[in-house]
Amino acid sequence: MTLSIPDYIQSAGIVDRDLVFPWDEWNLRPYYDHDAKGWWKRLNALSIRAQLALTNASGEWVRHRFSSVDGDVRPLQMLEAAWAGVVSPGYIRMPEPEEEEWRGPARGPLYILMLIVTDAFNHLEMDSDGASRAVWMYNLAQHVLPRTDAYDAWFGEVVQRLERHHPKPGPTEEDLFSGLPPGMGVPVSREAFDPRLAYDPAQAPAQIDAFLQRLDWRQNPYLCPPNVMSQEGFFEGTPYRYP
């Protein structure tokens, strides 16, 4: 499958061909690398998997905002793989995008979107600060969306939901031999980010399993083939099934 944008984003009225926000190709970091709204402290109290999932979910808003001016499928493919990566980093292979392919006020923000995602997963072992990546994607959305009322309401609601159900776990609550950084927590389903749906973490394993079964690694260059996952020995379990 190719990842489809959720209805709650499609109905938010954020698709606009007018690109009126500032965009300086030589000074991009100020558009996303800050914490002006003070979200980092709250997001840092979430599990790392919740932080990564929130990064992905915010990225879907950014991608949809540019859907009328750029049809490149790679940002959606990367987000699709990133949702699998929330379950296990063994699912993904993510080279950084080539900057020269992503210039200008339409493709430039998509480049930053992809860069944030690759940074979060490729550096997970050395730098597991998923809260910063979630803040970066939040800031990018704030900068490029033509209106932020729906996004702001959504973000506040889903953060509260994550705080209730996915706080950062203590050391006794995790598998210390998983090879992943402490504080990962359990996988978070994509359904957790739809405010119209009641969220029950007990249903997440079935939701995640259904999502993984729909993936087609042959059509997505950012997803690993099952035989590669098995050979590398990093992945445990049955590829593209959960648990």
pLDDT tens digits for range 132-153: 999 999 999 999 999 999 999 9
Q: Taking 80 as the threshold, does the pLDDT of residue 221 lie above it?
A: yes
Q: How far apart are CA 194 and CA 185, in angstroms?
A: 20
So what's the pLDDT on residue 234? 66
Q: What is the pLDDT of residue 231?
A: 76
Query: Would the pLDDT of 177 be above 60?
Result: no
> What is the structure's pLDDT at 173?
62
| Mean pLDDT for the stretch of residues 153-167 | 98
Please report, for residues 47, 50, 174, 184, the alpha-carbon distance to residue 170 in angstroms, rounded to integers and kept in the order given. 10, 15, 7, 10
Q: Which residues contact 162 (CB under 8 A, 6 or more apart)?
A: 46, 50, 54, 188, 192
Q: Which CA distances in Å does 233 have to 178, 186, 229, 239, 243?
A: 12, 21, 7, 12, 17
Interatomic CA distance for residues 14 and 11, integer angstroms? 8
- Is the pLDDT at 61 greater than 60? The verdict is yes
Please check the confidence at residue 29 and state whether its pLDDT lies above 60.
yes
CA distance 17 to 65: 9
Q: How far is residue 154 CA from its own chain's centroid?
A: 15
pLDDT averaged over the chain?
95
**pLDDT of 182 higher than 60:** yes
| Lowest mean pLDDT segment, chosen from 84-88, 162-166, 180-184, 229-233 | 229-233
pLDDT at 178 over 70: no
Peptide bond into 239 cis (omega under 30): no
pLDDT at 53: 98
Question: What pLDDT shows up at residue 170?
Answer: 86
**What are the domain boundaries of the chain?**
26-232
